[in-house]
Amino acid sequence: MNRFISLIAIALCMAACAHKEYDLSEGLNKEVTLFEDEISLPIGSIGPVTLEYAMGSLGKIEGIGSMVAEYIKEDADGFLCVEDSGSIFRSNIYEIERAMGDVSVAKRWNAGYKSAFIGGLAGMLSFVNLKNCNQTLVISSSNPLSVDVPASCEATINCQGDDGSVSMPVAELDNITLKQRSQQELLNLEFPEDFKSKVGSIVFSNLVLDMPATPSSAISNSNGNLFLGFYYKYKSRIGVGEGFSLPMSDISTGQINLPLGKYRLGKCEIEVELENTIPLTVSVDNIRVLKPRESSDEDPVVEDDITVTSGITVAGGTPQKPSTTIIKLALEAASGTIPDIPELMLDLKLEAQPDLGTVPLSTKQGLYVKSSSARICGGITIGSNE
């Protein structure tokens, strides 16, 4: 056995003399590369980058963007929405009494043409290529008198769409009764999901009120409400128009804690699967590695020694039909090796996904990492401590 071992040793020495790559006389290369194809490493959760965050970035758009961002609300189901409310007709009983003239007997008083326009933010969404969808309109009345007040009018709701204006008669409001001492809901209208026009105005033509004699004597509470009127409350969820485009810069992924430092990689490729439930195409650019932060309040500092190259476009989806996209990030250290990756910073651009139609936007929609691990390609170099 000893003779056999000696023969092997002699053969190795001869090979080293005959082949330079086995020559150990100039020192031993103590580094070796393992897993040259790929390995899989667990990563922390990335995201989600939600629409709640994205809509806040509307404030950076010059002009109307800040106004849109300020007045967007979230409804009970998590959808982003805008609201508007106001009066169609509202008048103090004493003012009505003066306008009636002779009030010694009950009479039909013609209040004339009354209208209200849906304004505020609800009327401005189109300026930033957002759409009104799932619209609702509630019309109510108030009557401070101790008697019922019958009323009649020709009510219409005017809507504006891409194909022009539409006028919708509302027969339910042609003949109504304002109940005594009450505020009451007269109409609660929910427009179909596929209704693409925006509610623009409510019109009461030839409004006539059957007023009692000396209306002021019928006021139920002289220290309370003195106004007789008709009111509207409008709500619209927010969808995305074809021309919508929202750039966002310096977006943090949050803590991802990718443990690459111990593998001493000069460069590698990370592959992850993204799931998108936002009905928007998401383009990702200018990806930067951040240095560790002790707290989220600390300003981020970019790790300049590490470069990340990628060209990422993620297709839009919905919660019912999410899109999935495989993305690859190539990381390289300018000198030394790649450290642990605690966090990334990137620029995003959200654009309309044309084949999805108008989908209501929800704070629950977002961009997520579907896979729970990253595939690391490019080999792992293990070196000596010397």
> Could you tell me which of 77, 53, 136, 83 has the C-alpha nearest to residue 319?
77
Instruction: Indicate if the alpha-carbon torsion angle 256, 258, 261, 265 is positive or negative.
Output: negative
- DSSP assigned state of 278: S
Q: What is the pLDDT of residue 254?
A: 75
Half-sphere exposure of 315 (CA within 13 A, CB side): 10
> Could you tell me which of 138, 133, 77 has the C-alpha nearest to residue 279?
133
Q: What is the pLDDT of residue 28?
A: 45
Q: What is the pTM for the complete model shown?
A: 0.72
Longest dimension (CA), the chain: 136
Cα dihedral 183→140→191→135 (10° resolution):
-90
Task: Give the span between the Cα atoms of 372 and 256, in whole angstroms.
Answer: 11
Q: What is the pLDDT of residue 175?
A: 95
Residues forming beta bridges with residue 112, ordered by sequence position: 207
Task: Give the span between the Cα atoms of 183 and 345, in whole angstroms.
Answer: 53
* Whole-number Cα distances in Å, 196 to 135, 279, 283: 10, 17, 28
DSSP line for 302-362: B-TTEEEE--EEE----SSS-EEEEEEEEEEESSS----EEEEEEEEEEEE-GGG-----B
Task: Give the span between the Cα atoms of 269 and 102, in whole angstroms.
Answer: 88
Query: Is the bond preceding 48 in cis, omega lying within 30 degrees of 0?
Result: yes
Give residues with Cβ within 8 angstroms of 178, minimum separation 6.
Answer: 141, 142, 143, 148, 149, 150, 151, 184, 228
Residue entry with tokens 């002790």: 294
Residues forming beta bridges with residue 84, ordered by sequence position: 234
Task: Quote the tokens at residue 315.
Answer: 């297709």
Q: What is the pLDDT of residue 1?
A: 41
Cβ atoms of 24 and 12 within 8 Å: the answer is no
Q: Along the 386 residues of the chain, how does pLDDT read in single tens digits?
A: 433 223 223 232 333 343 444 444 454 444 444 555 566 666 555 556 676 666 555 555 555 555 566 678 888 888 989 899 999 999 999 999 999 999 999 999 999 999 999 977 776 777 777 888 899 999 999 999 999 999 999 999 999 877 678 899 999 999 999 999 999 999 999 998 878 888 999 999 999 999 999 999 999 988 888 999 999 999 999 888 777 888 888 888 777 778 888 878 888 887 778 888 888 888 889 999 999 988 878 888 999 999 998 778 888 888 888 999 888 888 899 988 889 888 889 898 888 887 777 788 888 888 777 765 656 655 554 444 44
Task: Quote the tokens at residue 73.
Answer: 């609300």
Phi-psi region of 270 (alpha: psi -120 to 50; beta: other; left: phi over 0): beta
Task: Give the span between the Cα atoms of 370 and 376, in whole angstroms.
Answer: 16
Instruction: Indicate if the alpha-carbon torsion angle 95, 99, 101, 102 is positive or negative.
Output: negative
Q: Is 65 helix (H, G, I), strand (E, B) or coil?
A: helix
Task: Give the span between the Cα atoms of 42 and 258, in whole angstroms.
Answer: 7
Give residues with Cβ within 8 angstroms of 157, minimum separation 6.
Answer: 137, 167, 168, 170, 189, 199, 201, 202, 203
Q: What is the pLDDT of residue 29?
A: 45
